[in-house]
A and B are shown apart, each in its own frame.
Chain A
Amino acid sequence: MYLIEKNNVMKLAEELAKSYSLYGPVTDKETKQVFFNKVASASEISLTAEIPSIPPKTVVFPQIERILEYKYDKGSKKVEMNADFDTSSKALFGIRPCDLTGILVLDRFFMGLEFVDDVYLEHRKRMFIVSNTCTVPFKQCFCVCTDSGPVAEEGYDLNLTDLGDVYLVEAGSDKGREFAEKMGLQKAGPEHTLEKKNAVDKSISLFEKLATDNKAWISRVMNRVTTGFIKEEVWEHIGKQCFECGACTFVCPTCSCFNVEDHNKFSGSTDRLRTWDSCSFEGYTKMAGDHNPRHPVEDRRNKRFFCKLSYSQSKKYLRPGCVGCGRCQWVCPGDIGLPNVVTYIRREITE
Chain B
Amino acid sequence: MDYKSGVCNFCGTGCGNYLNIQDGKVSGVFSSRNHPVSKGRLCVRGWHFHELLMTDHRISSPMIKVDGNFKNVSYDEAISFMMEKMAKYSSDASESTAFLASPRSSNENNYLFAKLARSVFKTNNITLDSESGHRSSMNVLGEGAGFPGMTGSLEDISKTKFILIVGSDITKMNPIIGSEIHKAQMAGTKVVTISSRVTQIARLSNVHLQIKPGSKRSLLAALAKAVIDTDQLDTDFVTASTDGYDGFASSVNRFNMADVLSLTGIDSDTIKQIAGELCSAESAMAFWSTGISGLDQDTVSYIYNLLLFAGKIGKENCGANPITGICNLQGGYDMGTAPDLLTGFQKLSDADAAAKFEKSWGVKLNKDSGKDLYKMLADKNSKLKCLVAADHDEGIIKYSKEIEALEFVVYFGTFENPFMKFADVVFPIAGVIEDEGTYTNTERRVQLSRKRVEPFENVMPGWKLFPMIAAKASLTWKYSSAEDVFKEITSLTPSYSGMTYEKIEKSFGLQWPCNDKYPEGCKRLDGASIGRKFKFAPVTENFTIHSATADYPILLIASQGQHFWHQNNIMKKTYIPKREYNATLLVYPKGYIEICKEDADKLQVREHWNVKIVSSHGSMIVAVKISEDVKAGTAYVPYFIREMISSFLLEHNQEFDKGEDTIIPIRIERI
Contact = CB atoms under 8 A, between A and B. Distances in A.
Nearest to B30: A54
B39 to A, nearest CB: 8
Interface in B28-46: 28-35, 40-44, 46
Contacts of A250: 47
A331 B41 contact: yes
Contacts of B587: 286, 291-292
Interface of chain A, main secondary structure = loop
Contacts of A32: 34
Give the top 8 A-B pairs by smallest Cβ distance, nearest first. A333-B179, A283-B583, A63-B28, A283-B580, A286-B583, A266-B56, A283-B579, A261-B575
Q: Most chain-A CB neighbours within 10 Å: which of B562, B583, B584, B607?
A: B583
Given A245-B47, A283-B580, A286-B583, A266 B40 contact: no
A28 B582 CA distance: 38
Nearest to B20: A63
B2 interface: yes
Contacts of B28: 58, 62-64
B457 interface: yes
B33 A53 contact: yes
Given A246-B44, A333-B178, A266 B20 contact: no
Contacts of B186: 335
Contacts of B579: 259, 281, 283, 287
A64 B583 contact: no
Interface stretch (A36-44, A113-121, A123-131): A36-44
Contacts of A26: 1
Contact of B44 (A44, A62, A244, A332): A244
A30 B587 CA distance: 46
Nearest to B583: A283
Interface string B342-360: 0000000000000000000
Given A37-B3, A53-B33, A247 B41 contact: yes
A254 B171 CA distance: 27
Contacts of A266: 56, 58, 60, 456-457
A333 B33 CA distance: 13
B576 interface: yes
Given A292-B587, A333-B176, A245 B56 contact: no
Nearest to B505: A30
B27 interface: yes
B576 A333 contact: no
Given A333-B178, A335-B186, A281 B30 contact: no
Interface string B227-258: 00000000000000000000000000000000
A219 interface: no
Contacts, number: 133
B47 A282 contact: no
Nearest to B580: A283
Contacts of B56: 263-266
A300 to B, nearest CB: 12
A325 to B, nearest CB: 14
A227 interface: no
A220 to B, nearest CB: 24
Contacts of A31: 5, 32-35
A33 interface: yes
A246 B563 CA distance: 13
Given A33-B32, A283-B583, A28 B40 contact: no
Contact of B50 (A63, A246, A261): A63
A326 to B, nearest CB: 12
A283 B579 CA distance: 6
A259 B204 CA distance: 31
B647 interface: no
A148 B331 CA distance: 48
Nearest to A34: B33
Q: Most chain-B CB neighbours within 10 Å: which of A64, A240, A246?
A: A64
Given A240-B204, A245-B42, 19 more contacts: A26-B1, A30-B5, A30-B505, A31-B32, A37-B1, A37-B2, A38-B1, A38-B2, A53-B31, A58-B28, A243-B178, A259-B575, A264-B56, A266-B58, A282-B584, A283-B576, A286-B587, A331-B42, A333-B176
Contacts of A245: 41-44, 46-47, 175
A147 interface: no
B44 A28 contact: no
B600 interface: no
B175 A275 contact: no
B580 A281 contact: yes
Contacts of B583: 282-283, 286-287
A291 B186 CA distance: 32
B183 A281 contact: no
A155 interface: no
Given A26-B1, A282-B580, A282-B583, A333 B41 contact: yes
B1 to A, nearest CB: 5
A330 interface: yes
Interface string A1-43: 0000000000000000000000000101011110101110000
20 contacts: A30-B5, A31-B32, A33-B34, A37-B1, A38-B1, A54-B30, A63-B50, A64-B27, A240-B203, A243-B43, A245-B44, A247-B41, A247-B42, A264-B56, A266-B456, A281-B576, A287-B579, A331-B40, A335-B182, A335-B186
B20 A243 contact: no
Contacts of A240: 200, 203-204
A172 interface: no
B671 interface: no
A267 B9 CA distance: 26
Contact of B586 (A28, A35, A64, A286): A286
A245 to B, nearest CB: 5
B31 A334 contact: no
B175 A44 contact: no
A64 B55 CA distance: 13
Contact of B29 (A62, A63, A273, A330): A63
Interface in B11-31: 18, 20, 27-31
Contacts of A30: 5, 505
B83 interface: no
Contacts of A58: 28
B539 interface: no
B50 A64 contact: yes
A331 B42 CA distance: 8
Interface in B625-650: none
Interface in B48-78: 50-51, 54, 56, 58, 60
B183 to A, nearest CB: 7
A275 B30 contact: no
Nearest to B625: A292
A131 B313 CA distance: 54
Contacts of B5: 28, 30-31
Given A281-B576, A283-B580, A331-B31, A263 B54 contact: yes
Interface string A231-275: 000000000110111110010000000010101111000000101
A222 B356 CA distance: 70
A99 interface: no
Interface string A38-79: 110000100000000110001000111000000000000000
Q: Most chain-B CB neighbours within 10 Å: which of A32, A58, A62, A247?
A: A247
A102 B165 CA distance: 41
Q: Most chain-A CB neighbours within 10 Å: which of B29, B31, B32, B51?
A: B31
Nearest to A250: B47
Interface string A269-301: 000010101000111001100011000000000
Contact of A283 (B43, B457, B562, B582): B582
A91 B200 CA distance: 45
B61 to A, nearest CB: 11
Contacts of A334: 179, 182
A292 B606 CA distance: 14
Contacts of A335: 182-183, 186
Interface in A303-332: 330-332
